[in-house]
Chains A and B, each alone.
Chain A
Amino acid sequence: MKKLKLVMIGNGMAGVRTLEELIKIAPDLYDITVFGAEPHPNYNRILLSPVLAGEQTIAQIVLNPLAWYEDNGITLHLGKTVTRIDRVRRVVHAADGTQAPYDRLLIATGSTPFMLPVPGKELAGVIGYRDIADTEAMIDAATKYRHAVVIGGGLLGLEAANGLMLRGMKVTVVHIAPWLMERQLDDVAGNLLRQSLVDRGLDFLIGAQTEALLGDGPDGATGRVKAVRFKDGHEVPADLVVMAAGIRPNTALAESAGLHVQRGIVVTDTLQTVTDARVWAVGECAAHRGTAYGLVAPLFEQAKVCATHLAEFGIGRYLGSQVSTKLKVTGIDLFSAGDFMGGEGCDSIVLSDPQGGVYKKLVIKDDKLVGACLYGDTVDGSWYFKLLREGRSVSDIRDRLMFGESSLGDAGHQGQNKAAAMADADEVCGCNGVTKGTICKAIKDKGLFTLDDVRKHTKASASCGSCTGLVEQIIMATAGGDYSSAPRKKAMCGCTEHSHQDVREAIRKLKLLTIADTQRALSWRTPNGCSSCRPALNYYLISTWPKEARDDPQSRYINERSHANIQKDGTYSVIPRMWGGETTAAELRRIADVVDKYKIPTVKVTGGQRIDLLGVRKEDLVDVWKDIGMPSGHAYAKALRTVKTCVGSEWCRFGTQDSTQMGKDLERSLWRMYAPHKVKLAVSGCPRNCAESGIKDVGIIGVDSGWELYVGGNGGIKTEAGQFFCKVRTSGEVMEVSGAFLQLYREEGWYLERTVHWIARVGLDSIKQRVLDDVANRKALWERLQFALDGEPDPWFEHDKASVDTRQFIPLVPV
Chain B
Amino acid sequence: MNDWIDICRIDDIPVLGARRVRRPAGTDVAIFRTESDRIFALLDRCPHKGGPLSQGIVFGEHVACPLHNWAIALEDGQARAPDVGCATRFSVRVEGGVVSLSAGELATLAIDGDALVGADPATARRMTAMVVSEEEDVSSCAQSQDPPRPKTIPIVAA
Contacts and interface: CB of A to CB of B under 8 A. Distances in A.
Contacts of B140: none
B12 A554 contact: no
Contacts of B25: none
15 contacts: A526-B59, A527-B60, A535-B57, A554-B14, A557-B57, A558-B55, A558-B66, A570-B50, A570-B52, A570-B117, A599-B121, A617-B117, A617-B118, A808-B19, A812-B19
Interface stretch (A95-103, A290-298, A561-569, A680-688): A561-569
Given A568-B49, A569-B121, A814-B7, A558 B21 contact: no
B15 interface: yes
A618 B5 CA distance: 25
Nearest to B80: A456
Closest 3 CB pairs of A and B: A531-B64, A615-B121, A570-B117
Interface string B107-144: 00000000011101110110110000000000000000
Contacts of B12: 807, 812
A570 B5 contact: no
Contact of B21 (A529, A568, A814): A814
Nearest to A571: B121
A264 B116 CA distance: 61
B147 interface: no
A457 B82 CA distance: 6
Interface in B41-62: 49-52, 55-60, 62
A601 B122 CA distance: 7
B57 A813 contact: no
A414 to B, nearest CB: 24
Given A807-B19, A811-B21, A534 B57 contact: yes
A531 B59 contact: yes
B57 A554 contact: yes
A811 B6 contact: no
B60 A526 contact: yes
Q: Among B35, B59, B64, which residue has the most Cβ atoms of chain A within 10 A?
A: B59
A811 B59 contact: no
Contacts of B64: 530-531
Interface string A199-222: 000000000000000000000000
Contacts of B120: 599
Contacts of B51: 566, 568, 570
A807 B15 CA distance: 13
Interface size range on B against A? 35 or more
A461 to B, nearest CB: 15
B5 A530 contact: no
A615 B117 CA distance: 10
A518 to B, nearest CB: 15
A556 B20 CA distance: 18
B35 to A, nearest CB: 5
Nearest to B51: A570
Interface of B: 5-8, 12, 14-17, 19-23, 28, 31, 35, 49-52, 55-60, 62, 64, 66-67, 69, 71, 82, 101, 103, 106, 116-118, 120-122, 124-125, 127-128
Given A558-B56, A566-B66, A812 B121 contact: no
Interface residues of A, number: 40
Contacts of A553: 14
A60 interface: no
Contacts of A811: 19-22, 28, 118
A554 B125 CA distance: 27
Given A529-B59, A615-B125, A814-B23, 15 more contacts: A527-B60, A528-B59, A530-B64, A554-B15, A568-B125, A569-B117, A569-B128, A615-B121, A807-B12, A807-B14, A807-B19, A812-B19, A812-B31, A814-B5, A814-B103
A605 interface: no
A813 B21 contact: yes
B68 to A, nearest CB: 9
Nearest to B99: A812
Contacts of B6: 814-815
A138 to B, nearest CB: 37
A805 B14 contact: yes
A528 B55 contact: no
Contact of B82 (A456, A568, A617, A815): A456
B59 A601 contact: no
A571 B17 CA distance: 19
A555 interface: yes
Interface string A591-634: 00000000111000000000000011111000000000000000
B118 A812 contact: no
Interface in A262-278: none
Interface string A533-554: 0110000000000000000011
